Structure 1
Amino acid sequence: MKIPVTLNGNKIILDAHADETLMKVLHKNGCTSVKSGCSGGFCGACTILLDDRPVASCKIPAGIVRNSDIVTLDYFVKTEEYITIISGFQKAGIKLCGYCTAGKVFSAYQIMKMPKMPTRQEITDYVKALSPCCTDLETLVNGIIYAIQISNKRQKRT
């Protein structure tokens, strides 16, 4: 099956079986940040942005992403949003092991796009489904709050 998509800013055709997971197809196409983890959508290792929303690519059949915009961490690391998120994570003392980085980063990205500042409880509720192996929930929430604060300061300067 030929599946037209925009992958990391480039229009391409993915070659996949309809029942193959998007995670496997992306990995075959050189997206090394898309990792296999729990295969249940909880660990964050396979998280991508699908039409600008974080999803677990291990749960998405490749056949349903026709004409979608897909962004992987391989590409996202080049953005200002990534730099802001990583700055917030560093301030909180988060050490990224590389395994569940995409889940943490893309969750933070989604939260930062909220129209108003979320409460600590709203952030906690959003990320508690993740089960990152290298960061406790409280530290992750702090990192996201710091990233939001850094983003707000940058926006005030421009």
Structure 2
Amino acid sequence: MRQKKQPENQQHTASFYSMHTQPVTFSNTAPLPPLHLPAESRWRSFGHSCKQFGVALVRKINQMLGLALLVTFLLLGGRFVLTGFHLQRHPSLFVQWMYLCSDPLALPFQNVLPHTRYQGFLIDGSLILAIVVYCILALILRRFLTLLITEPR
């Protein structure tokens, strides 16, 4: 069978799904400047302001948790060092202040793990456990607060 030859200026009008096609309209439209957009409604503006305030509040709480974690770590770490050098009953004001400030933090973990002696030093396992637990709790809380303010993708 012989096929007819099509003229050069005539193109095929049918296209298959696997063929590339040319776009019908061109998207050369520039976005509207913010001046020409309609103003936000009062309720939407109020909601946006409340959201921004909530985000700022959660971030500030997150920062305060980080500071509390640092202070807790310093107090328990100082108590650990002082306990290691057997300075529990030392008459120094600094040692008494350190134990006074760190007592509420160390009390829930007191005598959970035994004291271990190593070359003349005293290692308090309960203080190590307290430091680890407080760090894990603070990091979990900080991560949760971060998840509260992140937008879903």
User: TM > 0.5 between the two?
Assistant: no
Compute the TM-score of the two structures, normalised by the length of structure 2. 0.22
Higher strand share: 1
Compute the TM-score of the two structures, normalised by the length of structure 1. 0.22
Higher helix share: 2
